[in-house]
Amino acid sequence: VNHPVRDLDEVVHQRVRLGILAVLAETSKADFTFLRTTLELTDGNLSRHLQVLEESGYVAVEKTFERRRPRTWVRATRAGKAAFARELASLRELLHRVDQAGGRK
Amino acid sequence: VNHPVRDLDEVVHQRVRLGILAVLAETSKADFTFLRTTLELTDGNLSRHLQVLEESGYVAVEKTFERRRPRTWVRATRAGKAAFARELASLRELLHRVDQAGGRK
């Protein structure tokens, strides 16, 4: 039996990183403050998880200045979108399997 | 906006622990070897995650001897079943939200 959790990619599955990719699935790019507020994170926690996603090639981070103030934009790369889609597919399979098992009991 | 990932409990959401609780949702109890094989884990990795779940009160671990050989049985507690149900509800909400957003784009 190949259990669906075996297909989960821990880089994407981790709660905060899943949240980042979920927000980026709803918008072409999000800024650091928006991500931090939406996901209720500290600066350090968000930075750390963005770095993991960036090192995996799943997000691109762009630091800009707007009216002389720094602003950090984040967007999902093509690889990040694909990894998020695979995660969603595995989660759906897991939920389906749990539903089936519940029906059998 | 309260994003559904904010409701995820990291004790339950973590990939291996989610797998353990998913297997235990399909059966009243599972032995260590069955969990290890089904989830494709090492002894050390499974032990570590079982300990986290046990410390959170989500699983009960029973060490027995059968024909003089040690056997470790694991079952989900009532709190573990409830935590797993909350995780599934949050995952469904997340999938629903992503589906809605996909429809809007």
The residue among A9, A37, A98 with the most chain B CBs within 10 A of its CB, best to mutate, is A98
pLDDT at B11 over 70: yes
pLDDT at A50: 98
- Report the residue from A4, A39, A101 with minimal CB separation from B3: A39
Packing angle between helix A15-26 and helix B78-104, nearest 10 degrees? Answer: 20
Calpha distance B9→B3 (Å, rounded): 13
- By DSSP bridging, strand B59-66 and strand A69-76 are unpaired
Q: pLDDT-derived band of residue A15, with 50, 70 and 90 as boundaries? A: very high
pLDDT in tens, B69-102: 999 999 999 999 999 999 999 999 999 999 988 7
Q: Which amino acid, residue B38?
A: T
- As given in the structure block, the two tokens for residue A102 are 């519940």
pLDDT at B102: 75
* Residues of chain B neighbouring A14 (CB-CB closer than 8 A): 14
pLDDT at B103: 60
For chain A, what percentages of helix, strand and coil (3-state, to nearest 5) are there?
A: 65, 15, 20
Backbone angles phi, psi at B76, to 5 degrees: -80, 140
User: Which chain A residues have any C-beta within 8 angstroms of a chain B C-beta?
Assistant: 1, 3-6, 8, 10, 13-16, 18-19, 22-23, 25-26, 38-40, 88, 91-92, 94-95, 97-98, 101-102
Average pLDDT over residues A52-64: 97
Residue contact B19–A40, C-beta within 8 A: no
pLDDT at B1 over 90: no
Calpha distance A88→B5 (Å, rounded): 13
Average pLDDT over residues B14-30: 96
Residues A91 and A7 sit within 8 Å (Cβ to Cβ): no
The residues facing A30 across adjacent strands are A74
Residues B65-90: b if buried by 16+ CB within 10 A, e if exposed: eeeeeeebbbebbeebeebbeebbeb
Listed in sequence order, the residues at least 6 apart from A103 whose beta carbon sits closer than 8 Å to its beta carbon are: none
Residue contact B6–A40, C-beta within 8 A: yes
**Closest to B88 (Cα-Cα) out of B7, B3, B2:** B7
